[in-house]
Each structure stands twice: as structure tokens, then as C-alpha cells.
Amino acid sequence: MSAVQPSSGAERRDVTERDVSVETFVGTGETYYAPVFEKFQKGELPQWHQNLLALIAPWFWGAYRGQWLLFWLSVALDLLALVCLMQVFKYTPLLEIAQQDAASNQTLIARYSNWITQFGWAALLLFIGGRLWLGSRANRWYFNQYSKWRINSSVAHAVSWPRVVTGAVIMAIVMPLTTYRATQVRTDERACFNQMRSGEVTRTLMASYGALNAGALLGDMQAKNSDLLARMEALATKESLTSDEKSERAALRKESRSLGRDIKQVEANVALTGQAKFDCFFVDDFPTLVRLDPPEDVTYRRVPDEAAIAAGNEGATMLVRQVKDAVEGRRVNVFTYSAESIDMSINYLRAQFAGAFDAMTAALRQSLIKVEVAFMQTPWAVVAFLFIVLSWKFAGRGTTIFVASSLGFLALFELWQVAMQTMALVVVSTGVCIFIGLPIGIWMAKNKVARWITEPILDIMQTIPSLSYLVPAVAFFGISQPPAVLATVIFAMPPMIKLTALGILQVPESTKEAALAFGASDRQLLTKVELPMAVPSIMAGLNQTIMLALSMATISAFIGAEGLGAIVTASLGDAQAGKGLLAGIAIALVAMMIDRILKGIRNSFSLI
């Protein structure tokens, strides 16, 4: 009901009241639940007090009362108990078979006996213990549900037969199939494939013969095969054969063999039982729902263009498309179809834009060589001095001591040059990330549509496993240092883009309005207000980019990257744990050094 109550002064407001009594909440059974709730509030309800309906049929009570936590727990416990019980029924006949030759099957007999005992006790414990526990929890959880309903009227309350129907549907979907699956021995994967293959062949032949069903098809094929055999026998009775008759006999033999294989496939399809089909669809792994004709097997490659070369264009090439003959009767699933299509697309791109890929590879290789030379030709004392100065300037005494100790570790274990190779790869990759990522981050911050398009792409890039980035890099550029740089760039770029956009978006509107009020242009707003204020966030993105680049530079050793990662990869292949551990420690120390120094630099920008 509604009542008008005064508040301060002459102000009046409507307050809607609702009935929050136990009777309204429970719907039926108020005489039972009211005293139970009261005892629970007073702390007088015994710990193992049982709700009899929840004890006997917990899933029904849970759905009926809207106590879905108890419903799902009861379904899970009962299902586990049934699965354990079905294991007993599954292994008992196997034990009996093994006992028929006890001398040869001692191991199997012991194994099956133990399994039957263990699963039997587990089923009993889950069923009885689970019911007792759920029965003792039911009223307590129901009171908690009542407490929530008093605050929030949308919480399930009273009794509801539609909820029971929903629960029954859930049980009907979950229980029978899972229980049946537990009673069956896993179907042979090849058997299900053969079943699917025989079905495909049968459907194709039915269309070819115009048969209405598999039985009629089998009769037609057997009749045709009998005719072929009769013709072959007629030829065999002749003392000598002409060349045409010999060719005819060879053709008949070939046709008869092919027809015999098809007859076997159709016979296998006709002999299939409903249970076999059901088992392959539900008991086995997820069934193959779609089978397709494979994509056209096409290969692209570049060859010298003789006409262009003759016309004076030296080094001219042309794209050649070669199509291989399809394998007769081959059908593939969606995964294989998509994978082969992607492979052919990559092959086409590599051939069509070979010049661009070669130029990119050369640019990356030259950049990497120059940075490596800069790191490795610079005296180690100068590099160490620069690291120590940076850490002292921006990170403090403690970080300086740590950096000096880490550099000492690299020098002591003679990992300095190898570490510099890793640093060169990280520097080149980070430079590309900044060159590409910073403008994209600014674009995202300034354009809502760009942000809407780019954010999902970046999310996908961050969730793809790191090893997956090596596959397209190798596909387009082969195995060498440049594809390692590209894989590292793709893997490490998202933080740079995201945190650049975030830093610009977090600039206060009042600050931007003040700059515009003083006559700042859009370019001045970006370069003199937004980017300077976004520097801490951009530095955080740079930090994360460098850390990801360092981790990917290690993994890129699988495709030819040099440095500390190559030592880890080699030690993994040779089972040399010591070398791998020391190289791993060196990688961790390099990462921690860079992280601490960049963190200090970022903090110094935050104080500006």
C-alpha cells in the first residue's frame, strides 16, 4: 500500500510499503518455516536439522522454492553419484570376462575389482552424504534468500510450478545423456569416421543410381557387380584374347574392384544400428556436423617473365597459378577447409607481394644489425656506466645496487654479448611499436569510431597465445631475425596503443576547455596539453611494451632469433637444465633492470 508521510518542513513524499512477512515469502508452509526462521535467527536451530523434502528430493525443492544454489548442487551431487554407480555396472561384466581366464588376466582382475569397490563406495557416499548435507543446509539458505528478498523484491520467492518445469527440463537434458555416457566404453574414433564416410559414399551413390534408399541401392550395385563378374568369366573362357578384349578385361577388373569397395561401404551403412549412430553423436567427442569438398589446391609462385625480359625489362617476373588435381572422394571438416584456404591465401600474398616482403625483411635486418653493432661494439664499461647512471638518476640507490649486481651477473657468467643481442632485438621491436602504436593510440583517443573498431582487435591480439604469432611471421618471412622482430612487434604493441589512448582520454575536460579558451588550435591542444599530461600513461605503456617484447624475444628463438632465448631453446632441446636456468635468470634480471629504471623515469614525469 501507499502512504503519504511528512519529511522535513512542508515537503511530503510517497513511500510504498510491501508485505515482507514470512507468509508472503514462502507462499505455502508458513507454519513450518516461520518457527524455523525464528530459531535460526536466535541461533537455536540444530546444526543437522533436516528439511525432509529437501532431503528426499532436493532438486525438486530447490526449483519449487527458487533456491537455485541448492538445486544445482543437488544436480551435481546426484549426477556424480550416478556416474560412479554406472562405472560399477560398466566394469562388472568386464570383470566377469576377465575372470574366465584368471591366470592371464590377474592385473585386469585386480584393477577392475578395485575400481568397482572404489566407485561403489563413492556413489554411496555422494548420494547419502550429499542428501544429508543438502537437507541440513536447505532451511539456512532459504532464510538467507528470505533476507535478500526483504531488501530486493526481485529475488525468487513463494512457490512456482513453472520453476519446477524448468528444473525438470534441465534434469532431462543433463541426467540421461551423462548417465548413458558413463555406462559406455569410449567409441573408437576410427569407427565413427568410417560410419560418417560410409554415409557420405552411400548418399553419393544413391544420387548416382537414382535409388530411393540404401537397401535398394545395395541390390542395384550387387546386380551390376554380378553382371561384371559374368562378363569377366565369359572372357576368361576364351583360349586367346584380342588386344581389345584384354583392354576390356582390365577395365572390367578395375571397375569391379571399385564397385566392390563401394558395396562394402554401403553394406556398412546398411548394417549400422541406431545405437551405433547415437553413440557416435553423443557418446564420442563432439560430432562432425559439416563435411565439405576441399578448396581447390592452388599454388602460386613467381617465375621469370621471358616476354618482359626480351623487351628489355631485366629481372622481370610473373605470377604463375598452378592447380593440382583433387583427390577423388575427399571431403574435409570446416577446420581443415578453413586452414587450407588460409594456407593458399598466404601463398598467394607471398608470391604477389614478394618485393614488399623482401624490402621489409631487408629494412628490419639492417636496423637490427646496426643496433646490435651499437650495443656490442660499445665498450661494456660504457654500457654498464650508462645503466648505472640512469638508475641512480631516476630510481634511487637501491635500484642502482640491483642494476650493478645484475650487470655483474651477466659479466661473471659471460652472458654480456648474448644479452646485448637480446637487447638489440627488444630495442628495434620497441622502436617499431612506438612508431606505429603512438599514432594509432592518438587516433583512437580522438575518434570514437576508430576506438570502437580497434579495441576488439587489440583485445584479440592480447589473448592469442604468444607462440601463435610465430606462425604467420614464418609463413610470410621464413625463419630468421626479421620475422622474430615482426612477431615481437605484433605481440608487444597493444599496451602502447591502449595506454596512449587512455592517457589522452583521461586529460580533464576543464584543462582542455581552458586551453581552447586561450586560443589553442587542435594541434596545439594535442602537442602542448594532452600529450604532456598523458606522458605517465604513455610511459606505462612503453614499460609494458618493453616487458612483452623481452618475453617474446625469448620465445622468438624458435624461429631464429639470437640472444638469451637461443640458449634457453638449445638447452631445452639438449636437456641441459643448468644452461637453461642460468639463461632464464639472466633474462629475468634484464627485464627487472629495465622495469625498475622505466618505473623511476615514469615517476619523475608524474611529478612534473
Neighbouring CB atoms inside 10 A of 513's CB total 10
Stated as kind and residue range, the H or E segment containing 411 is helix 397-412
Q: Identify the pLDDT of residue 122.
A: 95
Instruction: With a cut of 50, say whether residue 566 has pLDDT above it.
Output: yes
Comparing 163-167, 178-182, 421-425, 558-562, the range with the smallest average pLDDT is 558-562
Question: How large a percentage of the chain has pLDDT more than 70?
Answer: 95
State the average pLDDT over residues 557-570: 81
Is residue 477 a contact partner of residue 357, using CB atoms and an 8 Å limit?
Answer: yes
> How many residues in the chain?
608
Strands 291-292 and 2-6: unpaired
Residues 258 and 326: their CA atoms lie apart, in Å, by 18
- Radius of gyration, alpha carbons of the chain: 37
Q: Identify the pLDDT of residue 170.
A: 93
Instruction: With a cut of 60, say whether residue 15 has pLDDT above it.
Output: no
Q: Identify the pLDDT of residue 479.
A: 78
Query: Would you tell me the crossing angle of helices 397-412 and 416-446 to the nearest 10 degrees?
Result: 130
Q: Which residues contact 548 (CB under 8 A, 6 or more apart)?
A: 491, 492, 495
Is residue 489 a contact partner of residue 554, using CB atoms and an 8 Å limit?
Answer: no
Domain-wise residue ranges, the chain? 22-183, 189-283, 291-352, 358-606
358-606: in CATH 3.40.50.300: no
Q: Identify the pLDDT of residue 186.
A: 65
Q: Identify the pLDDT of residue 62.
A: 94
Question: How large a percentage of the chain has pLDDT more than 90?
Answer: 20
Q: Identify the pLDDT of residue 137.
A: 94
Instruction: With a cut of 80, say whether residue 249 has pLDDT above it.
Output: yes
pTM across the whole model: 0.67
pLDDT band for position 165 (50/70/90)? very high
State the average pLDDT over residues 491-496: 89
Q: Nearest 5°: phi and psi at 578?
A: -65, -50
The separation between CA 530 and the C-alpha centre of its own chain, rounded to angstroms, equals 38
The separation between CA 217 and the C-alpha centre of its own chain, rounded to angstroms, equals 44
Q: Identify the pLDDT of residue 607.
A: 53
Cell numbers that stand for 9 in this block: 518542513
Is residue 391 a contact partner of residue 582, using CB atoms and an 8 Å limit?
Answer: no
Is residue 466 a contact partner of residue 555, using CB atoms and an 8 Å limit?
Answer: yes
State the average pLDDT over residues 134-147: 94
State the average pLDDT over residues 269-297: 79
Tens of pLDDT along 325-350?
877 778 888 888 888 888 888 888 88
pLDDT band for position 515 (50/70/90)? confident
Residue type, 525: L
pLDDT band for position 55 (50/70/90)? very high
Is residue 294 a contact partner of residue 283, using CB atoms and an 8 Å limit?
Answer: no
pLDDT band for position 7 (50/70/90)? very low
The 3-state secondary structure of 439-473, one letter per residue: HHHHHHHHCHHHHHHHHHHHHHHHHCCHHHHHHHH
Q: Which residues contact 375 (CB under 8 A, 6 or more apart)?
A: 383, 420, 421, 423, 424, 427
Write the DSSP string, 139-169: HHHHHHHHHHHHH-TTS--S--HHHHHHHHH
Burial of 197 (0-12, 13-18, 19+ CB in 10 A): middle
The separation between CA 282 and the C-alpha centre of its own chain, rounded to angstroms, equals 23
Is residue 180 a contact partner of residue 247, using CB atoms and an 8 Å limit?
Answer: no
Q: Nearest 5°: phi and psi at 380?
A: -60, -30
Instruction: With a cut of 90, say whether residue 387 has pLDDT above it.
Output: no
Instruction: With a cut of 60, say whether residue 10 has pLDDT above it.
Output: no
Residue type, 598: L
Residues 273 and 266: their CA atoms lie apart, in Å, by 14
DSSP, collapsed to helix, strand or coil, labels residue 15 as strand
Residues 484 and 470: their CA atoms lie apart, in Å, by 7
pLDDT band for position 4 (50/70/90)? very low
The 3-state secondary structure of 298-333, one letter per residue: EEEEEEECHHHHHCCCCCCEEEEEEECCCCCCCCEE
DSSP 8-class letter at 13: E
DSSP 8-class letter at 558: G
Residues 239 and 243: their CA atoms lie apart, in Å, by 13
pLDDT band for position 202 (50/70/90)? confident
Tens of pLDDT along 393-443?
887 888 889 889 988 888 888 888 888 888 888 888 888 888 999 999 999
The separation between CA 339 and the C-alpha centre of its own chain, rounded to angstroms, equals 16
Is residue 571 a contact partner of residue 577, using CB atoms and an 8 Å limit?
Answer: yes
DSSP, collapsed to helix, strand or coil, labels residue 527 as helix
Instruction: With a cut of 90, say whether residue 68 has pLDDT above it.
Output: yes
Instruction: With a cut of 60, say whether residue 2 has pLDDT above it.
Output: no
Q: Identify the pLDDT of residue 430.
A: 87
Residues 338 and 217: their CA atoms lie apart, in Å, by 34
Q: Nearest 5°: phi and psi at 474?
A: -70, -40
Cell numbers that stand for 415 in this block: 652472458
Instruction: With a cut of 60, say whether residue 156 has pLDDT above it.
Output: yes
Comparing 6-20, 44-58, 270-284, the range with the smallest average pLDDT is 6-20
Residues 109 and 185: their CA atoms lie apart, in Å, by 17
Is residue 592 a contact partner of residue 405, using CB atoms and an 8 Å limit?
Answer: no
Q: Identify the pLDDT of residue 14.
A: 44
State the average pLDDT over residues 204-229: 87
Q: Identify the pLDDT of residue 606.
A: 58
Average model confidence (pLDDT) for the chain?
84
The 3-state secondary structure of 238-268, one letter per residue: CCCCCHHHHHHHHHHHHHHHHHHHHHHHHHH
C-alpha torsion 480→486→491→492, nearest 10: 110
The separation between CA 136 and the C-alpha centre of its own chain, rounded to angstroms, equals 40
Q: Which residues contact 191 (CB under 8 A, 6 or more apart)?
A: 280
Q: Identify the pLDDT of residue 166.
A: 94
DSSP, collapsed to helix, strand or coil, labels residue 275 as helix
Q: Rounded to a whole number, what is the distance in angstroms from the first to the last CA of the chain?
A: 60
Residues 477 and 80: their CA atoms lie apart, in Å, by 52
pLDDT band for position 71 (50/70/90)? very high
Is residue 344 a contact partner of residue 295, using CB atoms and an 8 Å limit?
Answer: yes
Instruction: With a cut of 50, say whether residue 203 has pLDDT above it.
Output: yes
Q: Which of 30-39, 180-189, 286-295 has the highest mean pLDDT?
A: 30-39
Is residue 606 a contact partner of residue 539, using CB atoms and an 8 Å limit?
Answer: no
Instruction: With a cut of 90, say whether residue 140 has pLDDT above it.
Output: yes
DSSP 8-class letter at 530: I
Q: Identify the pLDDT of residue 1.
A: 41
